Chain A
Amino acid sequence: MARSTPERRRKARVKAGFSVYYVIFLIFVYGPMFAMFTLSFQGPRGGTSFPMRGLSFYWWEKLTGPSVVGDLKASLARSLILAVVVMIITALLSTMLAMAFRKRFRGSGVLFYVVMAGLMVPGTLLSLGLATLLRQIGIPPNWWSSGLAVHVVWTLPFGFLVMMAVFNRFDSTIEEAARDMGADEWTVFKEVTLPLILPGIVAAGLFGFTLSYDEFARTTLLSGAQNTLPLDINASLTQRVQPTLFALGTASTIFSLLMIALFILVYTILYRRSR
């Protein structure tokens, strides 16, 4: 039976203190976003700060029309296509890499650090290096070529870490059993390994999708003549800031949140099924 000892009360107080801190932290992290959400419903005559002058969808409607920085729908489409391709490549490459790292091999230490470097090297440097290199060779940059290249460099380490975690908890005796019963490598992979690691692969891919969809620093100098959505948002910052930008930011954030929800949902379903 729980008795109220001084020790217990002290613990409860500490926990309450930390809980309050957690809430303050959330306000700090989410607060500005909520201010932006609210202001995107500003009345037609309102500005980019409080107070609200009426409620309207005025600025949201302006989103669908022609915008100051160009065709938002086209850049959204480009961002989505790029994110899907990055997702597939990330899932594939990170699974292969993590499978290789289940064994010890020569140069594994170096390769590990090279993969992690993709996460460490700032986008500015990567963008500058590849852009000047392409310029010197005479290849024009494009969002679907050089843009894709640096996006995968950025997403691969995340996918790789997810798959490493998956294989760390992986029971390889089932694979051994399949091998002992005469299955060849492809059969083992298709029938035993793949179904078990599928949630991980999906997680790695969706991780890649959201990171690519929001990527900005690496794409800056490498998207060529056509912008992705984050680049368009950046371009609109040089114009006078209007609540349209808040509507765009809100829409984009909601989309990201939906993707994360989908990611968690798919992972949970597949994880349950694989048990």
Chain B
Amino acid sequence: MTTVESYPKITRIETAPRGLIGGAPLVQVQAEVERKYRREPGFPVFTLITPATLWLVVFLILPLVSIFIFSFWKSTGHGMVPDFTLDNYRAFFASEGFFDSKNPNFLTPSIFVRTLWSTFRFTITVMALCLVLAYPLAYFLSMQVENFKWQLALFLLAMVPFWTSYLIRAVAWLPMLGRHGLINEFLLAIGAVDQPVSFFLYSEFSYTMALVQLYVVLAVGPIFFSLAKIDRTLIEAARDMGATPFQIFREIIAPLSLPGVAIGMIFVFVAVMGEFATAVVVYGGKASTTGTVILNYYSNANYPFAAVNAFMLMVVMMIGVFIIFRLVDIRKEL
């Protein structure tokens, strides 16, 4: 059918330059027509993006690039000098006696690699717990609460802690988990234990609890938004055709909420990987994460070695984010 809009396209196709096989791609012609016939409304893009772009280049990209560069420099004990040395990397990967078959440390990864590995393993645990806790909550808010105002109110109520200081929320765990903490008092009161349990605080348990509580809201938000966007008629249709609730979940809800899950998991992943303050508060500084290692070497003025640890952390995070990006196309979601 020839409409007013399609008219110029049709004439253009006829006069379009011929390629080896047939005409030039239609898209190109269309873009050409649009350029010619439509005045670009609004402010010029260049003016709009320049301030923010400059800000991000100077204060985001440049610092990250300089971490990479400084990781090859040489520490002088109180500062660093330009150099191109791989010593920092060797110290990061290989422990003393790594290549010596008689040494007990033969082929043992260094403490820094092991710290990074344990940070990563720990992050995966926290991510899994966050997903298990956040998904049902997001599902409840988006699918079960029908009144829009209630939905918004309950969602905000669950999200509010995100806007409060995470440092204070970590501190708030102290009166809960200590030997005289609320959990111990509760367990004593119901007679579950005879003596206060001391492993609640300054342990892997307290660290996990605190991190999950701090970052679970990061997963709730994106999962909620992707669930709320699902077209309800799809579910109705599936139900009319006799699908069981489980089938509806597996075939419709789960795949369509996947982008939200991916975004939420990326948020939790990068936040927990870079974590350092919570470890000090609820773990008593007993265990180190790569984040605390970085800050320690910074305060000891060994900047190149701090940079190596930071760069390796960045590499692991980029691999993780890349894998999640591969699994789900996220930009479509935004």
Contact = CB atoms under 8 A, between A and B. Distances in A.
Contacts of A256: 163-165
A101 to B, nearest CB: 9
Given A31-B176, A50-B182, A260-B163, A100 B51 contact: no
Given A96-B52, A115-B56, A49 B165 contact: no
A214 B60 CA distance: 20
Nearest to B152: A264
Specify the main secondary structure of chain B where it touches its partner.
helix
Of the candidates B136, B144, B216, B270, the one having the most CB atoms from chain A within 10 angstroms of its own CB is B144
B334 A164 contact: yes
Q: Which of B57, B70, B172 has the most CB of A within 10 A?
A: B172
B64 A216 contact: no
A245 B165 contact: no
B171 A36 contact: yes
Contacts of A19: 140, 144
Of B62, B169, B331, most A-chain CB atoms within 10 Å? B169
Contacts of B58: 149
B328 interface: no
B89 interface: no
15 contacts: A18-B139, A29-B161, A32-B172, A33-B164, A35-B176, A122-B317, A123-B274, A136-B66, A153-B55, A164-B334, A179-B41, A185-B42, A237-B171, A246-B171, A253-B165
Given A125-B313, A156-B52, 9 more contacts: A50-B175, A118-B56, A121-B60, A122-B274, A128-B67, A132-B298, A149-B59, A185-B42, A233-B165
Interface of B: 40-43, 45, 48-49, 51-53, 55-64, 66-67, 70, 79-80, 133, 136-137, 139-141, 144, 154, 156-158, 160-161, 163-169, 171-176, 178, 180-182, 185, 213, 216-217, 266-267, 270-271, 273-277, 280-281, 291, 294-295, 298, 303, 306-307, 310, 313-314, 317, 321, 331, 334
Interface of A: 14-15, 18-19, 21-22, 25-26, 28-33, 35-36, 39, 48-50, 93-94, 96-97, 99-100, 102-103, 105, 109, 111-112, 114-115, 117-126, 128-133, 135-136, 149-150, 152-153, 156, 161, 164, 175-176, 179, 185, 189, 210-211, 214, 216-217, 220-221, 230, 233-234, 237, 241, 245-246, 249, 252-253, 256-257, 259-260, 264
